[in-house]
Amino acid sequence: MPKTQLFHFPLLLFTMVVAFAAATTPVALQFKEAPQFYNSPDCALVVDKDRESGSDGEPSILCSDRALHVAMTLDTAYIRGTLAAILSVLQHSSCPQNIAFHFVASATANASLLRATVSSSFPFLNFYVYPFDDTSVSRLISTSIRSALDCPLNYARSYLADLLPSCVHRVVYLDSDLVLVDDIAKLAATQLGDNSVLAAPEYCNANFTS
Ligand SMILES: *[C@@H]1O[C@H](CO)[C@@H](O)[C@H](O)[C@H]1NC(C)=O
């Protein structure tokens, strides 16, 4: 067999795979679909989806005090990391169906593309996407720390109380560059001191008292 033919075959196969993927799901970035994760028997019944649902048809777990609320940012640059973080949350949770995800995306981002990408990888995820107005913070950012931190969406975490519905009283915010190795319920159960509204890991010698 002439040597050149060996090279043609994989190229053709690659072309066919790309064409097939484009034909079936045109509106989402391509990531593998995660399996469904189920609650263990002793999990609280957070929501009966047949009876309760929000006015816009969203499952009311997104507004439930018994749900575990997780907030993250969502953008195309870091979506791979975000999806890996979501998977790690679900994989290590004993009550994955009781977790509600709240994603903050730039108001100028293509929200339907981001939503479709999350849904195609996690068809059973309880999530909502909130638009964040970048211009409200972009002029406040000091560029002195690290250029990767200059993105306005990085500061959306400071506005979670305004962005999320007021029925959400407690939320765990996760960066898009981490993977959980234990049940997020342990993290969510962190006791805050009297009069404290916020807790964060102390690292890089951060001094929170100042
Ligand atoms: C958003 O992304 C979808 C899917 O890629 C595309 O069809 C649509 O035109 C985009 N919308 C905007 C406003 O860019």
pLDDT in tens, 170-200: 999 999 999 999 999 999 999 888 888 888 8
The pLDDT of residue 59 is: 54
Residue nearest atom 13 of ligand 1, based on CA coordinates: 110
Domain that holds residue 76: 4-19+42-188
With respect to residue 36, please indicate whether it lies within any of the assigned structural domains: no
- Token pair 């709240």: residue: 102
pLDDT exceeds 90 at position 4: no
Report CA-CA distances (Å) from 82 to 105, 120, 189.
12, 14, 22
Distance 76 CA to ligand 1 centre (A): 12
Counting the structural domains of the chain, the total is 1
In which band, very low, low, confident or very high, does the pLDDT at 56 lie, cut at 50, 70 and 90?
A: low
With respect to residue 202, please indicate whether it lies within any of the assigned structural domains: no
- Ligand 1 is surrounded, with C-beta below 6 A, by 27, 110, 112-113
Residue nearest atom 10 of ligand 1, based on CA coordinates: 110
The pLDDT of residue 38 is: 96
Range of weakest confidence among 8-17, 41-50, 94-103: 8-17
In which band, very low, low, confident or very high, does the pLDDT at 73 lie, cut at 50, 70 and 90?
A: very high
The pLDDT of residue 84 is: 97
* Eight-class DSSP state of 128: E
- The pick from 29, 110, 129 for probing ligand 1's pocket by mutation, whose C-beta has the most ligand atoms within 8 angstroms, reads 110
With respect to residue 28, please indicate whether it lies within any of the assigned structural domains: no
- Single-letter amino acid, residue 133: D
How high is the mean pLDDT of the chain? 82
Mean pLDDT calculated for residue range 97-113: 95
With respect to residue 146, please indicate whether it lies within any of the assigned structural domains: yes
With respect to residue 210, please indicate whether it lies within any of the assigned structural domains: no
Its pTM stands at 0.80
With respect to residue 30, please indicate whether it lies within any of the assigned structural domains: no
With respect to residue 77, please indicate whether it lies within any of the assigned structural domains: yes
More confident of the two residues 25 and 45 = 45
The pLDDT of residue 82 is: 96
User: Which candidate, 172, 133, 173, 170, places its Cα nearest to that of 153?
Assistant: 133
With respect to residue 126, please indicate whether it lies within any of the assigned structural domains: yes
CA gap 45, 31 in Å, rounded? 30
